[in-house]
Structure 1
Amino acid sequence: MSAPVTETMAIGSSDEHKESWFKHLLKAQAFQIFLVLIGIVIIFSALAPEQFATASNMRLVVQNASILAVLGVGMTFVIITAGIDLSIGSVLVFSGVVSAMVMRSMGGDGWGVATVGILVSIGCGLGWGLLNGFLIAKAKVPPLIVTLGSLGMALGFAQILTGGVDIREVPSVLTDTIGYGNVFGSVPVISVIALFFIVIGGIVLHKTRFGLHTYALGSSELAARRVGVNVDAKLIAIYAISGGLAGVAGIMSLAQFSTTAIAGQQQTNLNVIAAVVIGGTSLFGGSGTIFGTVVGLFIPAVLQNGFVITGVQPFWQQVAVGAVLIIAVYVDQVRRAASARGQTQGIWKKMLGVGRKQT
């Protein structure tokens, strides 16, 4: 009597189609947004080649995006955990105000005073970040509520300390070296600082255990706890990073504008969140890249610059960024739904394969 005919399905066999790295790259949202950015640059270059497509104008765009890029690094970590930080704009203002007041009370324009101001600004940002993280991780208050509350508190304290009047006494060494300084002839120092934090943020997120745990928190906090991740400590650290980088952005803003600019950061938090999401970081957590965030930041920066040069009302920038944001979130939802369907189909195929093998 012959043995029954059996069918087997080997997991990972040649029956499963393996996509090339190029096809995977084409499907990445960050890369698709990068292509959109290139398209926008080409359009404005064609419309105003003598004004837009110049080295000096590109330098201006990069410089304007530098402060938001520093904030975007911290926001990427936060959103990957499925959290949110609405307070970064207010923390930037508060850190800059306290730093300016300390430097003004010390007097002088040298690096000694400036160094103290830098440390004070970063320390203030870290303090707010730690407070946010503690309330979220330990008190279990939703991130939206905590950071919305600290948004109002930080801005309110800044206005109380100054009486609503901007401080304009900033050490000249800060404005001359960081705000308007250049390296290699024409590269803004403020952009080099931003690049430093982008690179460090990318390494930490994509190449370290801390970054792996960040993705794990966003994918499933319960699963992360079960495999031994100290979720509370990681959340506190991530919000501290976001706050600390807001402090760095505070001193950068102070150096660039030579004033605390209390009323000039009202849209900062929303612009950064929009850029991070447009760049492919999912609001549902578990996915995102620093590269995508940087690309997402340049879209509003290029749009604003291009609209001004071509004579279009810059208010259209808000309309365009809002539309791109909605499309990005919609695409993310569609992809997550498709991924869930693919995983379900894979499970059923494996189950059917096991059943056939047993027969």
Structure 2
Amino acid sequence: MSIQVEDRVAPAPESVGGKPPVQQRLRAAVRAQALQIVLVWLGIVALFGVLAPGAFLDPANFRNIAISVSILAVLGVGTTFIIVTGGIDLSMGSVLVFSGVVASMAMERTGDGQGWGVAAVGAVVALGSGLGWGLLNGVIVAKLKVPPMITTLGTFGAALGLAQVLTGGIDLRAAPDVLVDTLGFGALAGIPSLVVVAAVVVVGGIVLLHHTRFGLHTSAVGSNPEACRRVGIRVDRQLIKVYAMAGLLAGLAGLLNLTFFRSTTIAGHALTNLDVIAGVVIGGTSLFGGVGTVFGTLVGLLIPATLRNGFVIIGVEPYWQQVVVGAFLVIAVYADQVRRTAAARGGTRPSLPARLLRSRKDVR
């Protein structure tokens, strides 16, 4: 038996009183918050520009900020998708480290060659290991119904522990020169390769989240998973895909980290989870799921990076940067709660995105 649903575009449903649907109001609020975050970042730039105009406003300094944000941006795209589903990922920093470790070990054991063959082996191993951890997270969350926070907290410890077991807690440095010179310290048209890779990932994330069925289903799962099941969306499969994608990007981040630092930096990612999750939430993605913006994530990640850079230049202890980021995070979550409360007036729960209701295919 099949239920035939017309493929033509139907009018968007409206809530009581002719007001836009809850989901549309939430999306409008998220876009407004992303714009506000851009203004906040510009204000921070202006402040440090006044305090240290020579050093901070130097183009080379902005290049350094862009490079420092690149690896976090790659992680941030995957984390945005996970948080849009209503989940969380605490394991990304450990998966990054583990991927870098196994990639370095694989390249070292491949031989003494410094060519692209060895580099390709390392890239495949890093991406594969990240994908494996992502699939594990997804299966545990979707099939075993373990809460995402507990699942990823467990894999956070497991991935980091295994990385330390494999290395004895000592950083590895095996990476071919061709990979380091091209990806870690190379440039394309004067733009650092790390920034180019991060830009490609961010643009791809924007397109995937806002202009594809995959992104539409991701938002729908975060809005109302039970309604998704009723219209034929396989929620468990979608969750596994999202966590797998985030793991793949964490593997890519591990490879980028290895090529830039030429070290696995096992002890260097204690605050990576805080920085990335804070950037995602500050950028406007709701911790309650359903709505998010990759562009907002990028701007949200620029705030801690700019603060850290500016504090170093003006001589403020870098510990204050975590205080400020923590304050931003609390304010962003509070703003999200206020935003959702205002958007939900007239309805008890966000409905499916209107685009999904307008574009359903045959459900069989």
TM-score (norm. length: structure 2): 0.87
Confirm whether residue 127 of structure 1 aligns to residue 141 of structure 2: no
* Deviation by residue 1:254-299 (Cα, 9 ceiling, x = unmatched): 0000011000011111211111001000000011100100000000
* C-alpha distance in structure 2 between counterparts of 1:97 and 1:169, whole Å: 9
CA contact (8 A) 1:121 1:248 kept: yes
**Cα deviation, residue 183, structure 1:** 1.5
User: Residue 142 of structure 2 aligns with which residue?
Assistant: 137
2:172 to 158, 167, 170: 167
User: Residue 117 of structure 1 aligns with which residue?
Assistant: 122
User: Residue 316 of structure 1 aligns with which residue?
Assistant: 320
Letter in 2 for 1:132: N
Confirm whether residue 265 of structure 1 aligns to residue 269 of structure 2: yes
CA contact (8 A) 1:89 1:268 kept: yes
* C-alpha distance in structure 1 between counterparts of 2:303 and 2:87, whole Å: 23
2:181 to 155, 158, 176: 176
Confirm whether residue 76 of structure 1 aligns to residue 76 of structure 2: no
2:292 to 267, 288, 295: 288
What SS does the corresponding residue of 2:41 show, helix, strand or coil?
helix
After TM superposition, the runs of 4+ consecutive aligned structure 1 residues lying more than 3 A away are 15-18, 24-27
**Cα deviation, residue 16, structure 1:** 6.4
Confirm whether residue 42 of structure 1 aligns to residue 55 of structure 2: no
User: Residue 310 of structure 2 aligns with which residue?
Assistant: 306
* Deviation by residue 1:137-171 (Cα, 9 ceiling, x = unmatched): 11111111111100000001000000001111221
* C-alpha distance in structure 1 between counterparts of 2:30 and 2:216, whole Å: 24
CA contact (8 A) 1:26 1:32 kept: no
CA contact (8 A) 2:30 2:284 kept: no
CA contact (8 A) 1:278 1:324 kept: yes
Gaps (5+ residues) in structure 1? 1-10, 345-359
* C-alpha distance in structure 1 between counterparts of 2:229 and 2:174, whole Å: 49
Closer, same or farther: CA 85–25 of 1 in aligned 2, 3 Å: closer
* C-alpha distance in structure 1 between counterparts of 2:18 and 2:75, whole Å: 41
CA contact (8 A) 1:92 1:246 kept: yes
User: Residue 200 of structure 2 aligns with which residue?
Assistant: 196
CA contact (8 A) 1:110 1:171 kept: yes
2:159 to 140, 154, 160: 154
What SS does the corresponding residue of 1:213 show, helix, strand or coil?
helix
User: Residue 237 of structure 1 aligns with which residue?
Assistant: 241
RMSD: 1.8
**Cα deviation, residue 90, structure 1:** 0.3
Confirm whether residue 337 of structure 1 aligns to residue 336 of structure 2: no
* C-alpha distance in structure 2 between counterparts of 1:33 and 1:116, whole Å: 40
Letter in 2 for 1:53: L
CA contact (8 A) 1:202 1:290 kept: yes
CA contact (8 A) 2:132 2:244 kept: yes
Letter in 2 for 1:236: I
User: Residue 66 of structure 2 aligns with which residue?
Assistant: 62
Q: Identity percentage over the alignment?
A: 60
User: Residue 51 of structure 1 aligns with which residue?
Assistant: 55
What SS does the corresponding residue of 1:228 show, helix, strand or coil?
coil
* C-alpha distance in structure 2 between counterparts of 1:213 and 1:17, whole Å: 24
Name which of structure 1's ranges 297-306 and 173-182 shifts more when overlaid on structure 2. Answer: 173-182
Counting matched residue pairs gives 327
* C-alpha distance in structure 1 between counterparts of 2:158 and 2:101, whole Å: 14
Closer, same or farther: CA 177–83 of 1 in aligned 2, 3 Å: same
User: Residue 206 of structure 1 aligns with which residue?
Assistant: 210
**Cα deviation, residue 223, structure 1:** 0.7
**Cα deviation, residue 76, structure 1:** 0.2
* C-alpha distance in structure 2 between counterparts of 1:232 and 1:61, whole Å: 38
